[in-house]
Amino acid sequence: MSPTITRKHFLLGAAATAALAARRVEAAPKFTIRVGTDLAHDHPIALAMKAAAGEINKTTKGEVNVLTFPDNQLGDDTHMLANVRSGAMQMMAIGDNILATLVPSAAIDNIGFAFKNAATAWKALDGEVGDLVRADIDKAGLVPMRSAWDEGFRQTTTSTKPIVTPADFDGFKIRVPPSPISLALFKALGAAPVSINVAELYTALQTHVVDGQENPLSVIETTKFYQVQKYCSLTNHMWVGYWLLANKGFWSGMPADVRKVVEDAFNAQAAKERAANEKLDGSLEAELKKQGLVFNAPVLPPFQEKLAKSGFYKTWQEKFGPKLWSALEKYTGPLG
């Protein structure tokens, strides 16, 4: 005999179903943030992004669901920048040398041989230089997180010869990112730079479209460029930071308290990422030697002198303007 369902039981059941449905709605994320980067999944920046995502998801109890996409999974950095601007993506981590195609002042810390160490670069971006750049990023319709992340000093790898003196760059086919200041720097050094996106770089090196490239040791290791390069010259010619950027429309659509949780998590991870990247960078020469790379440390003043004689510093001082250049030299000392 079937049990009788009374009106009371029916109403109680309906109420329980409604309550469960309500809890499911509450548990569903109100905001989904897709954040991409061109860096490999095991690069310190990609790992820090993932850690920040976990913190945000936990702190907001699922109200904000952050999904990270390293390895150019959402397209190359130029494509992602366009998507963040349009709102097709919510956030990205991008090198300042690439961001400079939209925000020219972002390249100020890419000036050749400007910083003696990473700590000086961090002070500049945490201080007056960063304040000026963040204001320009905001004018471009994007929201920068307060703290920039560290990709580090760039070194030169080649398949044909080590770089020992500036003359070794004469006519040398070297890949640079699609960055105006990178092109200008290597032209000033006498090389023949070619802009190729990092997603296509391994193949370009393998097929000798170019004979060399320049990147931090962490990128050389995580992208396995040591498999298609023989020499690594510690030129320290440029320092690159990464900005965490958000689409302004999406960002302003989140409540202020939620925005604070998101930004605090990314900024906290920036400090950890800087330390992790510096530690990794210090260990990678020995590791890459095991992979077959032959290292040398060229004397750097002759390279700086060649840049100065070519007019590189004077040209970029004029491009950036006296206010930004003066701010930079507070941290670096006189340049050029």
Q: How sure is the predictor about 26, in pLDDT bands with cuts at 50, 70 and 90?
A: very low
Partners of 242 in the β-ladder? 95, 149
Q: Which structure tokens are listed for 63?
A: 């109200």
Give per-residue pLDDT as tens, 239-262: 999 999 999 999 999 999 999 999
Q: Contact, 254 vs 63, CB < 8 A?
A: no
pLDDT > 60? residue 23 = no
Residue 296: CB atoms within 10 A of its CB come to: 12
> Vertex 202, ends 115 and 243: CA angle to 5°?
40
User: Stretch 203-225: mean pLDDT, rounded?
Assistant: 95
- In this predicted structure, what is the pLDDT of residue 18? 46
pLDDT > 80? residue 8 = no
From residue 299, alpha-carbon distances to 36, 186, 296, 303, 311 in Å are 37, 17, 10, 8, 21
pLDDT > 70? residue 288 = yes
pLDDT > 80? residue 105 = yes
Q: First vs last Cα of the chain: how many Å apart?
A: 96
- Pick the closest to residue 68 from 95, 96, 89 (CA basis): 89
Residue-by-residue DSSP string for 172-187: -EEEE-S-HHHHHHHH
- In this predicted structure, what is the pLDDT of residue 3? 46
Three-class secondary structure of residue 261 per DSSP: helix
The set of residues, in sequence order, having a beta carbon less than 8 Å from that of 210 and lying 6+ positions away, is 173, 174, 175, 194, 196, 204
- In this predicted structure, what is the pLDDT of residue 6? 54
pLDDT > 90? residue 103 = yes
Q: Is the dihedral of CA 18, 24, 26, 29 positive or negative?
A: negative
Partners of 93 in the β-ladder? 37, 244
pLDDT > 80? residue 17 = no
pLDDT > 70? residue 107 = yes
From residue 14, alpha-carbon distances to 11, 19, 20, 26, 271 in Å are 5, 9, 10, 18, 51
- In this predicted structure, what is the pLDDT of residue 199? 86
Sketch out the chain's domains with CATH numbers. Answer: 25-332 (3.40.190.170)
Distance of CA 5 to the CA centre of its chain: 62
The set of residues, in sequence order, having a beta carbon less than 8 Å from that of 316 and lying 6+ positions away, is 111, 181, 184
- In this predicted structure, what is the pLDDT of residue 28? 78
- In this predicted structure, what is the pLDDT of residue 57? 97
Q: How sure is the predictor about 27, in pLDDT bands with cuts at 50, 70 and 90?
A: low
Cα–Cα distance between 242 and 145 in angstroms, integer? 10
Q: pTM of the entire structure?
A: 0.87
pLDDT > 90? residue 16 = no
Q: How sure is the predictor about 161, in pLDDT bands with cuts at 50, 70 and 90?
A: very high
pLDDT > 70? residue 280 = yes
pLDDT > 70? residue 222 = yes
User: Stretch 69-77: mean pLDDT, rounded?
Assistant: 95
Q: Percent of the chain beyond pLDDT 70? A: 92
Distance of CA 319 to the CA centre of its chain: 23
Name which of 11-15, 165-169, 327-331 the model is least confident about: 11-15
- In this predicted structure, what is the pLDDT of residue 100? 96
Give per-residue pLDDT as tens, 320-331: 999 999 999 999
Question: What does the mean pLDDT of the chain come to?
Answer: 92
Q: Contact, 80 vs 88, CB < 8 A?
A: no
User: Stretch 30-58: mean pLDDT, rounded?
Assistant: 96
Q: Which structure tokens are listed for 336?
A: 């050029």
Q: Is the dihedral of CA 52, 46, 36, 126 positive or negative?
A: positive
Cα–Cα distance between 88 and 151 in angstroms, integer? 25
pLDDT > 90? residue 14 = no
User: Stretch 188-196: mean pLDDT, rounded?
Assistant: 97
- In this predicted structure, what is the pLDDT of residue 197? 87
